Amino acid sequence: MSLFKHLPQIKYEGPKSKNPLAFKYYDAERVIHGKKMKDHLKFAMAWWHNLSATGQDMFGPGTADKSFGAQPGTMEHAKAKVDAGFEFMQKLGIEYFCFHDTDLVPEGKDLAETNQRLDDITDYIKAKMAETNIQCLWGTANLFSHPRYMNGAGSSNSLDVYCHAAAQLKKAIECTVKLGGSGYVFWGGREGYETLLNTDMQFEQENIAALMRMSVDYARSIGFTGDFYIEPKPKEPMKHQYDFDAATAIGFLRQYGLDKDFKLNIEANHATLAGHTFQHDLRVAAINGMLGSVDANQGDDMLGWDTDQFPSNVYETTLAMYEILKAGGLQGGLNFDAKNRRPSYTHEDMFEGFILGMDSFALGLIKAVELMEDGRIDGFVKQRYASYGSQLGQKVRAGKASLEELAEHAIQKGNAPLPGSGRQEYLEGVINDVLFG
Ligand code: XUL
Ligand code: CO
């Protein structure tokens, strides 16, 4: 049964097209910067937002109908979501999906029943995958929604809750391996705290690391060769989240010896909640060799929470793709951890959300390549550090200089000259020139 039969196959029509159900920039097969667009931009559908979320918020129920012809909360509905998801991805040319265990099936009365349901649904998904070219980008476990996780999962004060999380992790990893997922994500949903008055921070962080270590060991033992990812986020739902931002997560991974198995999944709206630009967290991950995958969305500067909007800001997607290209691309992909706004409640809106996100990143890719070819930004940055090209500068760079010889240099030079203009306004003009010139 077709759930979206009134909606067409979405095709590339070019920038002049006014057809809302067509791509203006995303041309999957176009080769740019040595690769097909679809290989630069491995877009993924997030099961949770696209197939499950109805737009419910604190002030009212959902507005979107995601029943797909079945009764929500049943296995029939779980299967209808698979049918809808695969039809949706095929119509848009999306080749990857991401999921939480709880997005796939309603939880059963106990773990045994839930696990049986997961076995059934992953069989069903696997058959769909075999009929299409659609693959699993990454899987994860929802260790934050159920009331048992009110104090976190790995960070919970309760050993029973910790073990329940371990059981869910074990099964979610098995499902990811069964579906051939190339990554496994840990977003620390409630791994954090509200007040230090009731919290042993060190104890909790050690426990989280131990749970990650056990997960890695188990996954490797059943043949998982992909990357694990931490997805940093500074706040929401907890006041303090342990994986605040890329730098904090990298420090944590190194401290507990997890850095060989883990990379990061950088989400745009999480970076901005941490007071960084998206590009900042991409750069931090990249220079530490930990840029794994991306949750592609955007926030709203006026709002202080994770609005998970579809990316529309081409200035941002350009600078993000510039970071990604300079890092040599992504092993992972661009997962639209994004949802329609509550008043955009129709099936057409689901398509238009993805078209917006895919076109914004495609245009960002095109412009990032132009920015690289233009060379003015890179050239300026290179020239800005040119003084380190001297013999003494080379010694500093090689870690072979001493404080005495630097001081001697300073004395000989007299008062150090000013370091040269940063020329931010000129550089911002270059970006405008490439974007709109
Ligand atoms: C929450 C969030 C999650 C993760 C997966 O802010 O981004 O959906 O991506 O658990
Ligand atoms: Co996310």
- Look up the CATH number of the domain holding residue 120: 3.20.20.150
Residue 7 lies in a domain: no
The minimum-distance atom of ligand 1 relative to the CA of 306 is: 6
Tens digits of residue pLDDT in 41-68: 999 999 999 999 999 999 999 999 999 9
Ligand 1 mutation target, pool 273, 337, 339, most atoms within 8 A of CB: 337
Give the model confidence (pLDDT) of 214-250 as tens digits. Answer: 999 999 999 999 999 999 999 999 999 999 999 999 9
Residue 13 lies in a domain: no
**pLDDT higher than threshold 80 for residue 13:** yes
Tally of structural domains, the chain? 2
pLDDT digits (tens, 9 = 90+) for 178-223: 999 999 999 999 999 999 999 999 999 999 999 999 999 999 999 9
Q: Give the global pTM.
A: 0.98
Q: Are 308 and 406 in a shared domain?
A: no
Q: Which atom of ligand 1 is found nearest the CA of 49?
A: 8
pLDDT over 80 at 363, yes or no? yes
What would the pLDDT profile of 309-337 be if each residue is shown by its tens digit? Answer: 999 999 999 999 999 999 999 999 999 99
Q: Whose CA is nearest to atom 7 of ligand 1?
A: 337
Question: Which has the closest alpha carbon to 436: 371, 354, 381?
Answer: 371
Asked whether residue 421 falls in the same domain as residue 365, the answer is no
161 & 235 share domain: yes
- Residue 237: cis peptide before it, omega within 30 degrees of 0: yes
Query: Which residue is it, tokens 């709002």?
Result: 303
Q: Which residues line ligand 1 (CB under 6 A)?
A: 100, 140, 185, 187, 231, 233, 267, 295, 306, 337
Same domain, 284 and 426: no
In a domain, 412, yes or no: yes
Same domain, 172 and 36: yes
* pLDDT tier at 78, thresholds 50, 70, 90: very high
Using the predicted structure, report yes or no on whether residue 416 has a pLDDT greater than 80. no
Whether 326 and 425 map to the same domain: the answer is no
Say whether pLDDT at 417 is over 90: no
CA of 376 from ligand 1 middle (Å) equals 36
Return the pLDDT at 1. 66
Query: Does residue 371 carry a pLDDT above 70?
Result: yes
Residue 92, domain member (yes or no): yes
Same domain, 292 and 428: no
Ligand 2 geometric centre to CA of 76 (Å): 27
Question: In what helix (H) or strand (E) does residue 209 lie, and over which residues does it extend?
Answer: helix 201-221
CA distances (Å), 74 to each of 68, 114, 161, 423, in order? 12, 12, 26, 60
Q: Residue 235: which domain range?
A: 26-374
Q: Are residues 334 and 365 in the same domain?
A: yes
| DSSP assignments along 277-311, one per residue | -HHHHHHHHHHTT-EEEEE--B--TT-SS---BPP
Name the percent of the chain lying above pLDDT 70.
100
What are the tens digits of pLDDT across the range 136-188? Answer: 999 999 999 999 999 999 999 999 999 999 999 999 999 999 999 999 999 99
CA pair distance 194, 219, nearest whole angstrom? 32
CA–CA separation, 189 and 258 (whole Å): 19
